[in-house]
């Protein structure tokens, strides 16, 4: 069985996410939602018959709480902005790896979304597999690998564990990779993302990420997101436009990190 684990705060795209799960060709799954939002989200979860964990918490802990309630042999860590292709679980169920990086595509045609899609293509096509793993992170984990990663993060982060928003996914993979080298890159686009369609959305998100990164100061993970780790090769499309995207993300990130 596959456990689909989703932290939810806003619920804007949740109906589409749930519909994409319910319509899967592979039906041996369970869905666990950590609800940090309101009663409308609870009502929707009940309507679909999924399992709910109510907790006002940050992203890393929300993922952990959902995982605690899961029972599947494999876990798919999803988000409330990501929908699944109809055969996604069927494709994943046929694999037998400890971790799987899954191809994704942005939904929409704005200038910034087109750049985000181009960035994803460059990450996969123009970088070594080790570099790819730091940007396009695994979402599909063998259960025991994810168990060990969460336990180690709780041990190392202590009281900061339930305050982390970013880099939640990087932290999970960082510890999971210590447990196994079995990481498979699946370029097939099984996940579609409602991403940052405007410059304002990019600035808002990455400023929040920069502020959250401060929480890693004084922990074993304080150097996890560095310039060396975030450096990538570009071989497709217009480099100048891609660098514009990186600036749009990087400047508010640094401001959020450096300023009080």
Residue burial 210-223, b: 16+ Cβ < 10 Å; e: rest? bbbbebbeebebee
Which pLDDT score is estimated for 226?
66
Q: Are 217 and 134 in contact (CB under 8 A)?
A: no
Which pLDDT score is estimated for 216?
86
Phi (first) and psi of residue 197, to 5 degrees: -85, -20
What would the two tokens of residue 117 be? 């899609």
Residue with tokens 């804007």, as numbered in its chain? 12
The three-state secondary structure class of 184 is strand
The three-state secondary structure class of 214 is helix
Q: Which residues pair with 100 in a beta bridge?
A: 140, 184
- Asked if residue 233 has pLDDT above 80, the reply is yes
pTM of the predicted structure, to 2 decimals: 0.93
What would the two tokens of residue 59 be? 């992203």
What would the two tokens of residue 34 be? 């950590």
Q: Which pLDDT tens digit goes with each residue over 123-172? A: 888 887 776 767 788 999 999 999 999 999 999 999 999 999 988 999 99
- Over the Cα atoms of the chain, what is R_g? 18
Which pLDDT score is estimated for 157?
95
The three-state secondary structure class of 204 is helix
Neighbouring residues of 194: CB distance < 8 A, sequence distance ≥ 6: 12, 13, 81, 82, 83, 107, 108
Pick from 140, 115, 259: which is nearest to 191 by CA? 140
Give the DSSP per-residue string, 127-165: S-HHHHHHHS-EEEEEHHHHHHHHHHHHHHHGGGGGG--
Within 10 A of 44 (CB to CB), how many other CB atoms are there? Answer: 20
- Asked if residue 225 has pLDDT above 70, the reply is no
What would the two tokens of residue 33 be? 């939602």
Q: Which pLDDT tens digit goes with each residue over 18-37? A: 999 999 999 999 999 999 99
Which pLDDT score is estimated for 128?
79
Determine the Cα angle at 234 with ends 128 and 123, to 5°.
Answer: 50
Rounded Cα–Cα distance for residues 157 and 113 (Å) = 34
Classify residue 235 as exposed, middle or buried by CB count within 10 Å of its CB (0-12, 13-18, 19+).
exposed
Using alpha carbons, list the distances in angstroms from residue 232 to 43, 52, 87, 130, 221.
43, 38, 31, 11, 21
Please state the rounded mean pLDDT for residues 179-200: 96
Please state the rounded mean pLDDT for residues 43-70: 96
């Amino acid at each position: 069985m596959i456990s689909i684990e989703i932290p939810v705060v806003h619920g804007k795209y949740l109906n589409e996410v749930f519909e994409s799960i319910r319509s899967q060709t592979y039906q041996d799954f369970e869905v666990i939602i950590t609800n940090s939002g309101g009663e409308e989200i609870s009502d929707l979860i009940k309507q679909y018959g999924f399992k709910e964990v109510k907790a006002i918490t940050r992203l890393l802990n929300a993922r952990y709480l959902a995982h605690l309630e899961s029972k599947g042999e494999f876990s798919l860590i999803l988000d409330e902005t990501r929908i699944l292709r109809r055969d996604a679980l069927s494709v994943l169920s046929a694999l037998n790896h400890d971790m799987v990086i899954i191809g994704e595509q942005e939904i929409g045609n704005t200038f910034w979304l087109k750049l985000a899609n181009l960035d994803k293509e460059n990450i996969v096509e123009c970088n070594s597999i080790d570099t790819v793993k730091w940007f396009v992170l695994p979402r599909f984990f063998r259960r025991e690998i994810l168990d060990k990663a969460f336990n180690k993060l709780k041990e190392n982060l202590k009281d900061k564990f339930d305050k982390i928003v970013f880099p939640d996914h990087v932290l999970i993979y960082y510890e999971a990779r210590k447990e196994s080298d079995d990481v498979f890159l699946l370029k097939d686009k099984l996940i579609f993302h409602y991403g940052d369609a405007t410059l304002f959305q990019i600035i808002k998100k990455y400023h929040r990420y920069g502020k959250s990164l401060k929480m890693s100061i004084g922990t074993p993970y304080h150097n996890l997101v560095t310039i060396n780790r975030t450096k990538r090769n570009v071989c497709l499309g217009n480099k100048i436009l891609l660098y514009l995207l990186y600036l749009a993300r990087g400047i508010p990130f640094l401001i959020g990190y450096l300023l009080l």
